[in-house]
Amino acid sequence: MPIHKTAVIHAEAELAPDVTVGPFAIIEAGAVLQSGCKVHGHAYIGPGTQIGCDSEVHMHAVVGHDPQDVTWAKEASRVVIGERSVLREYVSVHRASKPGSETRVGDDCLLMVGAHVAHDCHVGDGVVMANHCSLAGHVHIGAGAFLSANALVHQFCRVGRLVMLGGAAVAVQDVPPFMLSTGDRATIRAVNIVGLRRAGFEADLRRSLQDAHRVLFRSGHTIPEASALLGQSQVAEVREISSFIDDSVRGIASGAGTSVDTRPASV
């Protein structure tokens, strides 16, 4: 039976015919669940939440409840979950705090047990948030990033594409694309070579990104000087790092090691 008899589904919710809803789940008015969605027992889907095809919400997860923002004036807002994303037990994704705005989780994401996505966050496609990882409000996570267990990201911070945050890392400034960052406060240690290999980046491109890391943190240049050099690169991914830095409001996380690296860098 696709919808359990104990589930509470508002008459104004829209569910595709093949949506599965488990016992004691609650789905509020205006929620839209597309084909192939599964909502497990005791999950909560808040008003106006949109969940894409073949996504799955596990037991006791809370998706689309009120934002934890003292400035919220109870205006209508929403959560949008992409396709084929999995939200495991006790995950929470809160609605945006401004009228008509949204908190968004992309396609093909995995949010493990207890992960939290606060109001107004944007989580890119293919992101993994491991157990009890938490994002404060207005955080942006780039596509393919991996946030390890208990990692924390400060409000308004950005984590770039294919970044890896280590276990219990505390990011209080932006982490540029392709980097590996660990510790409290999170320090950029190296390029995320494992993640780049998994994403299909060839060896030459990985070396270019390693060169870019050396220019940023081991060349003796200031971050603005290093960013300007990276912006002149012929490699699009290196220019992406430069653009990310130039757009930063909170500043860039520091890099491990301050010694000058005299090796030639081809960026």
Give yes or no for a cis peptide into 95 (omega within 30° of 0).
no
pLDDT tens figures, 245-266: 999 999 999 998 533 333 334 4
Query: What pLDDT does residue 257 have?
Result: 52
Q: Which residues of the chain have pLDDT under 70?
A: 1, 257-267
Domains of the chain: 8-138 (2.160.10.10)
Active-site positions read: 119-120, 137
The SS3 assignment for 174 reads strand
- Measuring CA to CA, how many Å separate 9 from each of 4, 19, 35? 10, 12, 16
Claim: this prediction has a pTM higher than 0.85: yes
The residues near 207 (Cβ < 8 Å, ≥ 6 apart) are: none
